Chain A
Amino acid sequence: MAGVFSPTANIVTKLVLYGLLGGLVTLAGGAWFFPSTTYATGEGIVQPQPVPFSHEHHVGGLGLDCRYCHTSVEVSATAGLPPTHTCMTCHSQIWTNAGLLAPVRQSLATGKPIRWNRVNTLPDYVFFNHGIHVAKGVACTTCHGPVDRMPLTWKGASLRMSWCLDCHRDPAPNLRPKEAVFDTDWKRTAATPSGEQLMTRYHIHPETLSDCSVCHR
């Protein structure tokens, strides 16, 4: 009696088995690594905005300080978005007829705010505070990326918990003197105090920074 399975059946069986195994490993690996991809975190992704506001032009080019618009960054949990009036301090004088700025003028005329699309967001159970980071020498660009070179604003970091913890466990590499936190061109020089020195100066104790209650309430 001829064999039920042809000789190629062995190959097929092996291929199917290995394929299944490989597929499972790929799936598991995918499930593990997917959340950290920029596709999932949105890192580096630009959100469409009602006004194509350019940080590159305003910060990098004109040299506006971050705090000119984000006024509460030093004292509050939120950095604050500029009210329409802040835009109009300049734009009531220059580019007064630019089509791009029509939504800004309209907002002032109608009293309805500009609805920006968020670039950065955190889950509701995370309580982030800008003020304390700025006070301890964590610069804007450390988390938000090279804002002065962003023609349209993209998300500068993944904002995943592991990313937060990397710094909370070892803040030294990410610290700079307080005076320089709003400086987008800042570079570490030989004269810059080391991260460890800054930690002492600013009373930063990493052993307390990974308490759950630091961020979750």
Chain B
Amino acid sequence: MTTRREDLARRIEGRLAGKSGRALWRSLDELSREPAVLETLRTEFPGLPDLAEARVGRRRLLELMGASFALAGLSGCAPAEAPGEAIPYVTMPPGLVPGVARHFATAVTRGGYADGVLAIHQMGRPVQLEGNPDHPASLGALDPIIQASILDLYDPDRSRTMLTAGRVASANGMVKALFDRLPALTARGGDGLRLLTGTVTSPTLARQIGALKRRFPAMRWHRWEADGRDAVRTGAVLAFGRPVDAVLHLDQAKVILAVESDVLDSAPGHLRYARDFARRRRAPEEGRPEEMSRLYAVESMPTLAGARADHRFAAGPDGVEAVVRALAAELGAGPAEWRQGAPGWLAAVVRDLSANRGAALVHAGPAQSPAVHALVHAINEALGAPGRTVSYIEPVEADPVDHGESLKGLAADMAAGRVDTLLILGGNPAFTAPADLDFARTLGKVPFSIHLGSAVDETAVLCTWHIPEAHELERWGDARAFNGTVTIQQPQTRPLWGGWSPHELLAVFDGETRPDGYAILRATWMESFQGKGDAEQQWTDALRLGVVADSAAAPASVSLLPDLATRLPAAPARPDGGTLTALFRPDPWLRDGRYANLGWLQELPRPFTTLTWDNALLMAPATAERLGLQNEDVVEVRTTTGHLRAPVWRVTGHAPDCVTLPFGFGRKVVGRVGRGVGFDAFRLRPLDHLWRLPGVELRKTGETYRLAATQHHQMIDSPDVVRHATLDEFRHDPGFAKRKEPSQSLYPDHDYPRNAWGMAINLNSCIGCSACTAACQGENNIAVVGKDEVLRNRQMHWIRVDTWYEGEAEAPDQTYFQPMPCMHCENAPCEVVCPVGATMHDTDGLNVMVYNRCVGTRFCSNNCPYKVRRFNYFNYAGDDNRLSQSWNPDVSVRARGVMEKCTYCIQRIREARIAADRESRPIRDGEVKTACQQACPAEAIVFGDLNDPDSAVSHRKASPLDYGVLTELNTKPRTTFEARLRNPNPDIQEA
């Protein structure tokens, strides 16, 4: 077998040698042809030898076998079990049909900004979230974090009761305690009363806080978002004299420079930006090659935008700022001396940007300095971007202030005893506050503090009162999206544990003992709808659609202030050779740590590092080599703010001489899932260096720590999996991705008289965001297995996102993302080896998995060349402590000993099939959307009927770029890919 596979690999390599194929690799170990990694390529179940330590003795085994046989015999003689109870409603809720899903529009916020969602209800309970197609920020897609908020809703570790000084208390007690303080506060005009929130975009909360300020003029409202956008805000103030928000129009952008940009990862509106970006990247195969955009990126830590860039340049933080200053100087927005020391490639980028005036765009991420942001505004102005590729709107955040300064003021006042009553509405400042503020200690000095939070966390235990916060899916609220559009959040269920909303808590100040969140919210909107027609109708429409009509923020007319260059803070000094700079970055999924108790997010491999269940000190391979460090070496990290121990992970494309510390891990007071996971980088993060801290020292401790990275899991043994070319190569040879495929088979051909379901995944669209993996996990009841099991190669995701690199280890020319679900082969290798017929070919060509037949031989997985089958080694789903009503009732929950894999969302196909058959009509194109397709912001995944020549998937597959993976094995995969095109600038010589 091995020889056959080696033979095959040789043949493919030989064939590639004649083509443009350059070697692709997935990890540094693979690039260096590490023997251990090559071995995993040949082992189907690399996790198995680890089990030696869990050996069961012979005697024990016989005992267990005997017991199970005896029990099996007994259970065989039992009469039919009483089949349980059937419990109808007393009064059927209006509009409900038992067994038919219903959709309700609402929104879930991320860092304060709303993404519109549709909550899918089964028998009155929300079981899943999908994007709301009518919402401007989501357009029907969702990122993994928002998808996981349904898991958060059902998290059994959420707090369920009021606490005072650690003891259970009643809501009456809390209200009374607050009432008792009101006379004194009123007498002092609110002096000593403080409010701490995250980013607030809610018009109702803003209205309530405004009213509170009028009643208590001396009250102060503080803001803190650890993963915030202070630099973006300050940059706008520097450039325009006042805060404004920028809305990007990537559909208009032909040439883009991303400066460690979060435009595809996490910026407000990123789902929409991803869609606009992807559409222009698909233009060539749709016959409009001149519309393809070109993306440049310069960054320290790889971002998704950087991975998708046609030219990506790694630079330390000082280098990035130098590039932006030089670019500004080139475009006449800065003094000529800034040009000194600019890298050689910049001239070509400047030419390209200038040549596309009005269709060019520069965007910087929130970790860049305010100076960079101000300069980016000036550069965009010089490129004619305003009004075309970028537009400015009044800030979406209510009363925007600098969060760092705001929190610093609060900490100082708390330390000085000037804070008497503190209300913390959401957030976990005791964990996320900068290390040098000593926030946790000073918080303990406040005589009366209330923490409103969804779980007992680091802040809750330090406050005199903790109030369980109602989840966004169980309370009335409102929030604004990146462009200001308002969504009224309607509760999808009664509060499971009787939580309070911030609106209700603030209403206690108005003398209400049991405030009604609905009434508070309606008051805001009825007033706003007054005089614009039928207010009641507008309210109903807003709830039904999930957006308030015409609520987008007003455009801001701004002009660049003169003398920008002279008012900017000085550029950071280039650190001396050898000194390391620490970069603080949020974990892509846990953000500031608030999602640490969500198993889906803990186990979702991070882009680039593929780490699960841990964070690590990330650095460039060259830096690691210089310091003599390997992956998983534990080092002591010492900075001016403190020290901690962290394992090392080398990241391809990371800038040299700096190390990234992802924060959000290392929570101390957290539920069962997040406990003891990772290290807490917030402990080193000082207020005046929130994103980069020069002068970090590393000391090797000699210890190692195992990290559960998935980059070597489920490897495909072929160098021809990702196919790609430049736009020019595509013009000359549009069929470059095609290979000759064998046609002979020992098995008879199948006939597909009805539908032939197929999927096309466009690598030009895929941005590697993992939304598909998360959506699949939610839809298909995929279990979370935990770190130990991930280390054994046993994560259960049905669709994984493979990352391939090309070029040098330090600065890969290209990064390719490739989502890999089941291929639903027409000649499926898995089907013919199953001894019990548990994996079968159905009429429509689906390769179906019959769980109740599977006996767990794992032959199918062994024979699957794509490595997409997952086995339940333990009772993962049964052992999960999530609430049973949170599982999707349309999909079997798999037991131990059963194989599973992507089903093309068979439950959705069957639902459409039944609906169509009931009406005796064929299934319409687009009627079935798989969960991954639904969630994908970039429209990379298209699913449909291949028998219908007019279906969207048939059109995609007619693209010259269409190819199947490992088709040389004659598997005839139904899932195919569109090869990736790059649009490099011919003026820039690739290294």
Contacts and interface: CB of A to CB of B under 8 A. Distances in A.
Interface of A: 31, 34, 39-42, 45, 47, 71-72, 75-78, 80-85, 107-108, 111-121, 123-125, 127, 129, 131-132, 135-136, 202-203, 205, 207-208, 211-214, 216-217
Nearest to B838: A212
Contact of A113 (B79, B90, B853): B90
Contact of B892 (A85, A111, A125): A125
A121 B83 contact: yes
A175 to B, nearest CB: 14
Interface string B307-336: 000000000000000000000000000000
A116 B88 contact: yes
B40 interface: no
Nearest to B89: A83
Contacts of B852: 123, 125, 216
A149 B87 CA distance: 24
A75 B85 contact: no
Contact of A208 (B83, B85, B843, B848): B843
Interface string B69-113: 000000011011011111111111000011110000000000000
Interface residues of B, number: 43
Contacts of B31: none
Contacts of B846: 213
B906 A217 contact: yes
Given A72-B100, A211-B848, A111 B90 contact: yes
Interface string B940-962: 00000000000000000000000
Majority SS at the chain A contact face: loop
User: Nearest 7 CB-CB pairs, A to B?
Assistant: A121-B83, A42-B80, A81-B88, A76-B99, A211-B842, A78-B99, A83-B89
A136 B917 contact: yes
B918 A132 contact: yes
Interface in B893-929: 893, 903, 906-907, 909-910, 914, 917-918, 920
B890 interface: yes
Majority SS at the chain B contact face: loop
B97 A135 contact: no
A118 B82 CA distance: 8
23 contacts: A42-B79, A42-B80, A47-B83, A72-B98, A76-B98, A81-B88, A83-B90, A84-B88, A85-B91, A112-B90, A114-B87, A115-B86, A115-B87, A117-B83, A117-B84, A120-B83, A121-B84, A127-B910, A207-B843, A212-B850, A214-B910, A216-B852, A217-B907
B86 A116 contact: yes
Which among B754, B842, B891 has the greatest number of chain A C-beta atoms within 10 A? Answer: B842
A199 to B, nearest CB: 12
Contact of A72 (B80, B97, B850, B918): B97
B100 A81 contact: no
B446 to A, nearest CB: 44
Which among B76, B84, B893, B910 has the greatest number of chain A C-beta atoms within 10 A? Answer: B910
A83 B83 contact: no
B840 interface: yes
Interface in B832-889: 840, 842-844, 846, 848, 850-853
Given A77-B100, A119-B83, 14 more contacts: A31-B76, A42-B80, A76-B99, A84-B90, A108-B90, A113-B90, A117-B82, A121-B84, A127-B907, A132-B917, A207-B843, A216-B848, A216-B852, A217-B892
Contacts of A129: 914
B918 A135 contact: yes
Nearest to A80: B98
Contacts of A82: 88
B83 A76 contact: no
Contact of B85 (A116, A127, A216): A116
A124 B877 CA distance: 14
B90 A76 contact: no
B917 A135 contact: yes
Contacts of A39: 79-80
B90 A107 contact: yes
Nearest to A70: B98
A123 B850 CA distance: 14
